[in-house]
Structure 1
Amino acid sequence: MILKGSQRTGGADLATHLSNEYDNERVEIAQVRGTAARDLHGALAEYEAVAAGTRCKEPLYSLAINPSSPLSREQYMAAVDHIEGKLGLTGQPRAVVFHVKNGREHCHVVWSRIDLDNMRAIGLSHDRMKLRTCARELAHAYGLSLPAGLAEDRGDARFEKNRDVTFAEKAMAEASGLTPEQRRSEITALFRASDSAEAFRAGLERAGYVLAQGERRAYVVVDRAGHIHALARQIDGARTRDVKARLADLPVESLPTVDAAQAQQVARQQAVDERLREKARQRGAKSAADLKAKQETRRHRQIEGKRQQLAVTHAAERMALHATHKAEEGRLFNIIAGRMFALFERVPALRSVIAHLRRNPAINAAERHRLEDEALDRRHDRERRQIDRRAVALDKIEARERRSLVRDLVRQVRVEDQLREAQSEQRERELRQTAHDITAEKPDHEQRTTTDDRRARMRERLEQARQKPSGPQRGGPGWE
Structure 2
Amino acid sequence: MILKGSVRGSARELATHLLNGTDNEHAEVHEVRGFASEDLTDALIEAECLAKGTRCTKHLFSLSLNPPAQETVPVETFEEAVDRIEAGLGLENCPRAVVFHEKEGRRHCHVVWSRIDSEEMKAVPMPYFKNRLMDLSRDLFLEHNWDVPHGILDRSAKNPLSFDLSEWQQAQRTKQDPRIIKAVLRDCWQGSDSKEAFKGALESYGYYLARGDRRGFVAVDVRGEVYSLSRAIGIKSKVLNGKLGTPKDLQSVEEAKKLVNARWSEKLQSLSDDMDAKHARQKEPLDQKLNQIKQRQRQERQALNQHHQERWDKETKIRSERLPNGLGGIWSRLTGKYAKIRHQNAYEAWEALKRDEAEKEHQIVKHLEERSAVQRTRQRLKQQQQIERTELHREIAAQMEQRAERQQSLETDFNTQADNQRQTQRRRGLYRDNDDLEPEL
Question: Could you say which residue in structure 2 is the equivalent of 1:147?
Answer: 149
Question: Could you say which residue in structure 2 is the equivalent of 1:261?
Answer: 256
Question: Could you say which residue in structure 2 is the equivalent of 1:230?
Answer: 229
- In 1, the alpha carbon distance for the partners of 2:273 and 2:52 equals 40
The question of 1:61 aligning with 2:56 is answered no
Describe the superposition over 1:208-255 as per-residue Cα deviations: whole angstroms up to 9, x where unpaired.
Answer: 32222345777432244532423796399995366338x9xxx963x4
Letter in 2 for 1:221: A
- For residue 139 of structure 1, report the CA deviation from its aligned partner: 4.1
Question: Could you say which residue in structure 2 is the equivalent of 1:351?
Answer: none
Which deviates the most, 220-229 or 135-144?
135-144
Question: Could you say which residue in structure 1 is the equivalent of 2:209?
Answer: 211
Which deviates the most, 127-136 or 277-286?
277-286
CA contact (8 A) 1:83 1:134 kept: yes
Question: Could you say which residue in structure 2 is the equivalent of 1:85?
Answer: 87
The question of 1:15 aligning with 2:15 is answered yes
- In 2, the alpha carbon distance for the partners of 1:178 and 1:424 equals 15
TM-score, with structure 2 as normaliser: 0.55
User: What pairs up with 1:180-191 in 2 under 5 angstroms?
Assistant: 180-190=178-188
CA contact (8 A) 1:183 1:234 kept: no
- In 2, the alpha carbon distance for the partners of 1:167 and 1:262 equals 24
The alpha-carbon distance between structure 1 residues 424 and 31, as it changes in their structure 2 partners (threshold 3 A), is: closer
- For residue 111 of structure 1, report the CA deviation from its aligned partner: 1.0
Q: Secondary structure at the match of 1:149?
A: helix
The alpha-carbon distance between structure 1 residues 126 and 26, as it changes in their structure 2 partners (threshold 3 A), is: same
Describe the superposition over 1:183-211 as per-residue Cα deviations: whole angstroms up to 9, x where unpaired.
Answer: 24323444677798667545534533222
Question: Could you say which residue in structure 1 is the equivalent of 2:158?
Answer: 162
User: What pairs up with 1:59-458 in 2 under 5 angstroms?
Assistant: 59-68=59-68, 69-139=71-141, 141-151=143-153, 162=158, 165-190=163-188, 201=199, 204-205=202-203, 207-214=205-212, 219-223=217-221, 224-230=223-229, 234=233, 239-240=239-240, 243-244=243-244, 253=249, 255-262=250-257, 416-420=388-392
- In 1, the alpha carbon distance for the partners of 2:251 and 2:16 equals 39
Letter in 1 for 2:158: N
CA contact (8 A) 1:176 1:225 kept: no
CA contact (8 A) 2:176 2:389 kept: no
CA contact (8 A) 1:276 1:413 kept: no
Letter in 1 for 2:24: N
Q: Secondary structure at the match of 2:251?
A: coil
Which deviates the most, 417-426 or 26-35?
417-426
CA contact (8 A) 1:276 1:410 kept: no
- In 2, the alpha carbon distance for the partners of 1:91 and 1:170 equals 34
Structure 1, gaps ≥5 residues long? 152-157, 303-408, 427-480
Q: Secondary structure at the match of 1:88?
A: coil
The alpha-carbon distance between structure 1 residues 121 and 414, as it changes in their structure 2 partners (threshold 3 A), is: same
- In 2, the alpha carbon distance for the partners of 1:120 and 1:167 equals 29
- For residue 84 of structure 1, report the CA deviation from its aligned partner: 0.9
- For residue 297 of structure 1, report the CA deviation from its aligned partner: 9.2
- In 2, the alpha carbon distance for the partners of 1:256 and 1:423 equals 23
- For residue 30 of structure 1, report the CA deviation from its aligned partner: 0.8
Q: Secondary structure at the match of 2:57?
A: coil
Question: Could you say which residue in structure 1 is the equivalent of 2:29?
Answer: 29
CA contact (8 A) 2:185 2:232 kept: no
Letter in 1 for 2:99: V
- For residue 61 of structure 1, report the CA deviation from its aligned partner: 0.9
Letter in 2 for 1:150: I
Q: Secondary structure at the match of 2:21?
A: coil
Q: Secondary structure at the match of 1:32?
A: strand
Describe the superposition over 1:255-284 as per-residue Cα deviations: whole angstroms up to 9, x where unpaired.
Answer: 421233356668969968877766677777
The alpha-carbon distance between structure 1 residues 168 and 76, as it changes in their structure 2 partners (threshold 3 A), is: same
The alpha-carbon distance between structure 1 residues 137 and 190, as it changes in their structure 2 partners (threshold 3 A), is: closer
- In 2, the alpha carbon distance for the partners of 1:209 and 1:425 equals 8
- In 1, the alpha carbon distance for the partners of 2:218 and 2:79 equals 46
- For residue 162 of structure 1, report the CA deviation from its aligned partner: 2.8
- In 2, the alpha carbon distance for the partners of 1:425 and 1:108 equals 41
CA contact (8 A) 2:205 2:393 kept: no
CA contact (8 A) 2:64 2:109 kept: yes
- In 2, the alpha carbon distance for the partners of 1:269 and 1:105 equals 44
Q: Secondary structure at the match of 1:24?
A: coil
The alpha-carbon distance between structure 1 residues 297 and 55, as it changes in their structure 2 partners (threshold 3 A), is: farther
CA contact (8 A) 1:59 1:121 kept: yes
CA contact (8 A) 2:31 2:99 kept: yes
- The percentage of counterpart residues that share the same residue type is 34
- For residue 121 of structure 1, report the CA deviation from its aligned partner: 1.4
The alpha-carbon distance between structure 1 residues 189 and 100, as it changes in their structure 2 partners (threshold 3 A), is: same
- For residue 110 of structure 1, report the CA deviation from its aligned partner: 1.0
- In 1, the alpha carbon distance for the partners of 2:278 and 2:157 equals 42
Q: Secondary structure at the match of 2:49?
A: helix
Higher alpha-carbon Rg:
1
CA contact (8 A) 1:187 1:235 kept: no
Structure 2, gaps ≥5 residues long? 302-380, 399-441
